[in-house]
Amino acid sequence: MTAQAPPAETTPASRVLPPVVEVTVGAIALAIVGGIYMAGYFPRRPPLGVPIGLLVVGAALLGVGFGMLSRVEDFGWRTFRLVGKWTLAAYVLQAGMIGYAFVHNGASGAPLVVIILLLVIFAVGVPLIISFTVGRYQAE
């Protein structure tokens, strides 16, 4: 007769989760590089090829991050939403401040649109990282 080992207790800390943080940090890093590239040209009009490329890849990575998140089942969703809501408010405010600095200094047209979209990645990505990191250690 063999004794069957009891199933190992699954705790929030022992969950295996997809690399949402790593992928989203990649998206934010690209957005930051794009922002720095454009700020380096300011107040002149920057060439938009590189920032648009970074924007597209960054947006795709952010989408992948959300896609991976949507497949997670055992997760602290309530805490994730609570933290996400407040951090989103905070980082939308921060992104708004950065956007205001560009607008105040005469950014307009296509460069402004690219900057705003890069800021959207920043303002959405940071709350995703923070709330995912908190949610992974919380019970469902």
Partner 1 sequence: MTDQALEAPRVSDAPEAVPRPTQIVPLKGLPIVAVLVAFLILSISQNWIWGLTFFHVAGGAVWTVVDLFVGLVLGPIIGRLSIEARAEFSARFMPKMVLLMPTVVLLTLAAGFQLAIQLGNLSPSSPNHTLLIASFAIVGVMAAIALGVLEPANIAVLFELRKPQPNGEVIGKLMRRFVYAAGILGAMQIATLVIMTRVASQ
Q: Is 19 helix (H, G, I), strand (E, B) or coil?
A: coil
Q: Does 43 bind partner 1 (CB under 8 A)?
A: yes
Q: Does 83 bind partner 1 (CB under 8 A)?
A: yes
Q: CA-CA distances (angstroms) from residue 84 to 46, 67, 76, 131, 134? A: 33, 16, 12, 5, 10
Site string for partner 1, 3-42 (x = CB under 8 A): --------x-x-------x--xx--xx--xx-xx--xx-x
Tokens of 122: 């920043």
Beta-carbon count within 10 A of 55 CB: 21
Nearer to partner 1, 1 or 132 (CB): 132
Site string for partner 1, 52-81 (x = CB under 8 A): ---------------------------x--
